[in-house]
Structure 1
Amino acid sequence: MLSFLRAPLPPKTDRASDNPIVYEDGASYLEFRTSPESNYLLRNQHPPFDKENPSIMVPPFHYHIHQTEHFRIVSGEFHLFKDTADIPWKTLSADDPNGLKTAFIPPMQYHTINNASTTEPLVLDVSLTPEDVEGEERFFRNFFGYLDDCRKAGQKPSFFQLMVFLQSSDTPLGLPIAPKWLGIAASHLFMHGMGFFGRWILGYRSTYEEYYVEKKAV
């Protein structure tokens, strides 16, 4: 293992027991459901969209290998993009009585989202099916906890650490390669190659105790 070659980890903030988990000095948060009656895994707040300095909550184009991702608007408005288009595929709005309130993205479909407003926050609910509650909570807590700690430390996130996180959740980055089937295949291989290097050569981990505490089996 060549961990001495990797970028240093930022000081980690212990948030493993927090719910909601507040990021970006209060501008964004994740809140995991506490009621089994909820159809959604988490509630997520994005700050107003800033193209020059996007929130850590704005994901790059990516896809889910096995899962369908479901969205429900709670307050505000957001754009849902698919493939690599600059034009929104759908816009969900809480304020427009005729606007869409829910949407979903099937497996193997490139997508991303962003707040449609540059002045107002966005709140939405998110879930994935088939559901892996523990695996998804582990991923989200580690991914955004790490990004926010890098932000606070003024440190650029390690690409290899991010790929280790993404590999753990079967979520490749959507590489802009045509035709689509080739892009999907290349993205899949790229994720595994970079994730393997990050984990087994550089020594990055897929979870840290400051961000997530493993649930004990009953």
Structure 2
Amino acid sequence: MLSFLAKRVPRTTTAGLNPVIFDNGRSSIEFNSPNAQYLVINRWPPASSEANQNIALRPPIHWHRYQTEVFHIISGSAQFTYNGQEIIKTKDQSMIIPTQTFHTFCNASTTEELVIEFVLEPQWKDRDERFFRNVQSYRDDCRAAGVSRSLPQVLLFNYFGGVVLALPGPPAIARFLGILMNYFGGVILGKYILGYKESYPEYYKAKT
């Protein structure tokens, strides 16, 4: 193991907090009760600057290997990038992202906060909560430390969350290469060579 080569950042203890506050109070994630229709509620600041577009909650273009994702807009408006198209959804509207579809989303308004809730698949709520808590807390800690995220660490989170980065090229080839990148970059390099973990106790405590 070559863990001494890994990029380490101080981890803020966010496990058990609900909501979890990011970006110096500008954004947050809140986890609903297990019997709620949606898993999480995101609060985004207005998209009035590049800094607000790079908040901890904003995902890169990605896809889910096994799960359909369903969004519901509580207030404000969201811009979805969906297979290369830009789609705007506003209050009380929903957006369904089928399995293996390339997508991302952000606040569409430069003046209003976005409040959006979503879920992947109800039976995977514990796994998805672990993924969101680790990914977003890690990203915020990197922001606070002024360092870029480690790609092997991100890929390791993604591997165990069923999330794959959307690579350029024909979709079938891009999906295959994305899966390989998750495994070799995240599991082999990230976990077994650099010593990263798929979850950290500072970020997530398993439910008993």
TM-score range, shorter chain: over 0.9
Long gaps (5+) in structure 2 = none
Where does 1:1-218 land on structure 2 (aligned, <5 Å)? 1-7=1-7, 9-34=8-33, 36=35, 38-49=36-47, 52-53=50-51, 54-83=54-83, 85=84, 87-88=85-86, 90-94=87-91, 101-129=93-121, 131-178=123-170, 180-196=171-187, 197-216=189-208
Report deviation, 1:186: 1.4
Percent sequence identity over aligned pairs: 37
Q: Against the structure 1 CA distance between its residues 62 and 200, is the aligned structure 2 distance closer, same or farther, given a 3 Å change threshold?
A: same
Aligned mates of 2:207, 2:141 — CA distance in 1: 23
Q: Against the structure 1 CA distance between its residues 159 and 51, is the aligned structure 2 distance closer, same or farther, given a 3 Å change threshold?
A: farther
Aligned mates of 1:12, 1:27 — CA distance in 2: 19
Question: Deviations for 1:132-167, whole angstroms, at most 9, x for unmatched residues?
Answer: 111011110011011111111112111111111111
Name the structure with the higher helix share: 2
SS of residue matched to 1:118? coil
Work out whether residues 71 and 94 of structure 2, in 8 Å CA contact, stay in contact via their aligned partners in 1. Answer: yes
Long gaps (5+) in structure 1 = 95-99
Bigger mean CA offset, 115-124 vs 136-145:
115-124
Aligned mates of 2:204, 2:186 — CA distance in 1: 20
Report deviation, 1:119: 2.4
Bigger mean CA offset, 149-158 vs 198-207:
149-158
Work out whether residues 34 and 125 of structure 2, in 8 Å CA contact, stay in contact via their aligned partners in 1. Answer: no
Aligned mates of 2:56, 2:138 — CA distance in 1: 10
Aligned mates of 1:93, 1:35 — CA distance in 2: 26
Give, as a single letter, the amino acid of the residue that structure 2 aligns with 1:12: R
Question: Deviations for 1:88-147, whole angstroms, at most 9, x for unmatched residues?
Answer: 1x21111xxxxx700111111100001101222111001012531110111100110111
Work out whether residues 48 and 111 of structure 2, in 8 Å CA contact, stay in contact via their aligned partners in 1. Answer: no
Q: TM-score, length-normalised on structure 1?
A: 0.90
Moved over 3 A (4+): none
Task: Work out the number of aligned pairs and report it.
Answer: 205
Aligned mates of 1:213, 1:40 — CA distance in 2: 20
Aligned mates of 1:213, 1:3 — CA distance in 2: 24
